[in-house]
Amino acid sequence: MSDIHSEKILILDFGSQYTQLIARRVRESHVYCELHPYDMGLEEIKAFGAKGIILSGGPKSVYDEGAPAIEEELFELGIPVLGICYGMQLMSRHFGGEVIAAGKREYGHAELQSVGTPGPLFDGFFADGKSPVWMSHGDHVEKMPEGFEMIAKTANAPVCGIQNVARNLYGVQFHPEVNHTPRGDALINTFVRKICGCSGSWTPGQIIEDAVARIKEQVGSDQVILGLSGGVDSSVAAALIHKAIGDQLHCVFVDNGLLRLDEGDQVMATFASNMGVKVTRVNAQQRFYDALAGETDPEKKRKIIGNLFVDIFEEESNKLKDAKWLAQGTIYPDVIESAGAKTGKAHNIKSHHNVGGLPDYMKLQLLEPLRELFKDEVRTVGEELGLPHQMVWRHPFPGPGLGVRILGEVKEEYCEILRRADAIYIEELYESGHYHKISQAFAVFLPVKSVGVMGDGRTYEYVVALRAVETKDFMTAGWYPMPYADLARISNRIINEVKGINRVTYDISSKPPATIEWE
């Protein structure tokens, strides 16, 4: 088995909204990393075997009562450490520096200025001694820590970059992980590849080779059942597991009545007909509609849908001899965002139906071959496995499907209206060339009626909202500036072609404060 985890970076999370971005930048350097809470014990840190450690930013002041602290012996392990924002302030204070509340806080763009010799971390970072960066801090380092050199500053922060090259300790006050710091990805790449000495074995081909070996070792001769949804994650999981164990994989496609238009037929054609994967189609629309009847709470709807999926999987697995594993397309952000979000130190925004284990009564064990991967990594693995480009690069679709794109109670009538409106919307985005410029687009059904007029008659029908966002990480997102002419055409088609709709709106909310999905 290839050992692509032998070189890895440990990221300790102090509660920054950008911590996931740090991990993504490290992965983009083809180096494996994991996020763990800031209070990870020293023995656990040693056992992790990191080639380098990154301390994230955080919302607290280092002097606040109960502020996140660190195992300070960490700095004595001889492992390269990069402190970002709050992480740099902790490092500074440990070595005798002074952190104070800034007279003028810095949030947003700033110009970083080189001071003296940049050193190994900032190799190639400055152009003419300057570089644009993104700041988000209230405190700053006022007095330099002992044994460190200052390598950067801004007009408002006297110390924005520090280094102790002999001990391989580095700190930056700005956020290199965000897109607003143009050369930030290069700085993180320098840290993990040059300073930490990682060779970069975390590539799609190596990920597949490693995953196939692990699946074979884990499963042996057992039978595996996988819930196939047609989305990117479950599709890539199916292709990966099928590559590893072939006919030992049995896919169950649950047509729950919450899918996009004609999606059931498309899933069967792709996997059963073209890839030779064993797929059982279960028509369970009415079971889901009955289970959801009368429920309006988004979290409860998610739980109902997820639990019913599990029940159906168990029913199907009982029909299979020696079925001992339930495979899921769980990916790393699902793990991070559920059960306390990030690393257990932030608020839970929403639960993911495929995270959190299985009921005690269920006999199957979990198989999650994508659990370590971010969405972009899943897509590149999917292409490497030979899945159709259009499937791999399809916009994300939530596990609960239309169940969380219908606000309030889910009814069959609402599903039919929404899937037809959504199909027109997506078709128009493809035709106009917008689809691949947008990170995610979909229609939302609003359970309210508005007055309209069609022909010479008054109408009183439902409303749909259109959503389209641009994002690189799905942690933050901006609404997509759709041309008015395209919006007008889409609205006109939906109102004329979908019976039951007489009004279309366009969502211009960013994340935050809104989420991408409405529920």
User: Is the Cβ–Cβ distance between 239 and 210 less than 8 Å?
Assistant: no
Q: Which residues are catalytic?
A: 85, 175, 177
Burial of 407 (0-12, 13-18, 19+ CB in 10 A): middle
Please state, in angstroms and rounded to a whole number, the distance separating the CA atoms of residues 121 and 103.
Answer: 28
- Classify 450 in phi/psi space as left (phi over 0), alpha (psi -120 to 50) or beta: beta
Q: Is 273 annotated as a binding residue?
A: no
Strand-pairing partners, residue 506, are 466
Q: Is 233 annotated as a binding residue?
A: yes
CB neighbours of 277 closer than 8 A, spacing ≥ 6? Answer: 238, 242, 249, 251, 271
Locate 438 and state its tokens: 């947008």
Q: Is 3 annotated as a binding residue?
A: no
The widest CA-to-CA distance across the chain, in whole angstroms, is 82
- Sheet with 130-143, strands from edge to edge, namely 32-37, 8-13, 52-55, 81-84, 169-172, 161-164, 149-153, 98-114, 130-143
DSSP code string of 345-368: TS------TT-S---TT--PEEE-
Q: Is 49 annotated as a binding residue?
A: no
Nearest to 339 by CA among 330, 328, 351: 351
Locate 491 and state its tokens: 């609205």
User: Is the Cβ–Cβ distance between 284 and 333 less than 8 Å?
Assistant: no
User: Is the Cβ–Cβ distance between 138 and 180 less than 8 Å?
Assistant: no
* Number of residues assigned to the chain: 519
Helices (H) and strands (E) in the chain, counts: 14, 18
Q: Is 235 annotated as a binding residue?
A: yes
- Known binding residues are 229-235
- Known binding residues for ATP are 229-235
